[in-house]
Amino acid sequence: MDRVIVKKCDNYDACQDIIFDILDSYHLKIEKGTKVLIKPNLVMPKKPETAVVTHYKIVKAVVLYVENLGGIATIADSPGGPYQKKYLDILYKETKMTDACSDKTILNYDNSSRIVENKKGIVLKKLDIIEPYFTNDIIINIAKLKTHCFAYYTGATKNLFGFIPGLIKAEYHYRFKDDNNFSKALIDICEFIKPTLSIIDGIDCMEGEGPTSGKKKFAGIILAGENPYTLDSVAIDKVGLKKENCPIYNELAEKGMLNEIEVLGDNINLIQLKEAPTKDLSFLKFLPKPILRFFSNIKNPIPKFDGKKCVLCGNCVISCPAKTLKIEQKKIQFIDKDKCIKCYCCHELCPHKAVII
């Protein structure tokens, strides 16, 4: 039986005591010198109040808890863009991770990674994982609760995709184009990483065009659990999303990987989040492929680029797994529209909401 704790939290200034209570109840083995890796969602350099990233005050509370016990806290994530020192510097400042640190906390700038065997993997028999994973004793995964245009929902399990370095993430997207295979890859990553504890920042969530272009919505909850799958399952329920629309949930259910859950903590009134705009087509999968493709193009459209908002930063071009975008005549253009796999990485990583789906 997996234990999931759900706590009401009205604002980020009140989160420290709640985080301390949660961490106390999981009896983590942290003592003097224990190295603890704290993995927030830092998908792109955005301010904490945008609800794109894990709020730094939750990270700060975890850092303080770890350091009070004598542990050594490291904050690390590989964002959606390049995994380089200069970019990490911008990322940490913009997301205020710098404010989450004490003078003892380590902000990770080591951008090396290791390729490891993953024999038990369903689709990923080898994994490329960022270095801090290998140099820490305990992993505390701190996700942000958001809707997601490609994955439907992002929380504890999807947050572990940030253990894959920089643009290698785009390669994985390209290898596992459809959401079912991509879900298998996420399960492989989660089974390998096995975080000690996962926490979800659901105080300010994101609804609609998540994970970066949606609207902030207050839900006032913090959730925690040792098993990211069951934790996500509870989180999805609490914000009124539909588990059957979530490809990773369906994959886990099919594989019998969802344990019984005991939910502890506060009674929370349902906060309904608006779903991401793309539509699930699994109910049409019996149709012949050309017809399915026709519906898919309507329901899951090829992205468009808003020339008025676009500043030609090139993020979408470098992060496109299909390498099918270019900057030409001062605008973003497709090299070949048919190569677009509708992963919406361009939408996710555009800092100016210039990608329309």
Binding residues for ligand SF4, rule: CB under 6 A, are: 303, 305, 310-316, 320-322, 324-325, 332, 340-346, 350, 352, 354-355
CB 357 → ligand SF4: shortest distance, Å?
8
What is 240-306 written as a DSSP string? T--GGG-HHHHHHHHTT----EEEEE------PPPPPSS---GGGTTS-HHHHHHHHHHHSPPPEE-
Pick the closest to residue 300 from 279, 322, 286 (CA basis): 279
Amino acid identity of residue 344, one-letter, is Y
Which of 30, 322 has the CB closer to ligand SF4? 322
- For residues 195 and 190, give the distance between their C-alpha atoms in angstroms, rounded to a whole number: 8
CB 137 → ligand SF4: shortest distance, Å?
37
CB 95 → ligand SF4: shortest distance, Å?
18
Which of 108, 315 has the CB closer to ligand SF4? 315
Number of C-beta neighbours around residue 269 at 10 A: 8
Which of 80, 132 has the CB closer to ligand SF4? 80
Which helix or strand (DSSP H or E) is residue 130 part of? strand 126-130
For 278, half-sphere exposure in the C-beta direction (CA atoms, 13 angstrom radius) is 29
CB 222 → ligand SF4: shortest distance, Å?
32
CB 75 → ligand SF4: shortest distance, Å?
26
CB 347 → ligand SF4: shortest distance, Å?
7
Kindly state the tokens that stand for 236.
């999805």
Show Cβ contacts of residue 57 under 8 Å, excluding neighbours closer than 6 positions. Answer: 12, 13, 15, 16, 48, 100
Which of 83, 305 has the CB closer to ligand SF4? 305
Which of 258, 313 has the CB closer to ligand SF4? 313
Contact (Cβ atoms closer than 8 angstroms) between residue 139 and residue 193: yes
Which of 239, 310 has the CB closer to ligand SF4? 310
Amino acid identity of residue 129, one-letter, is I
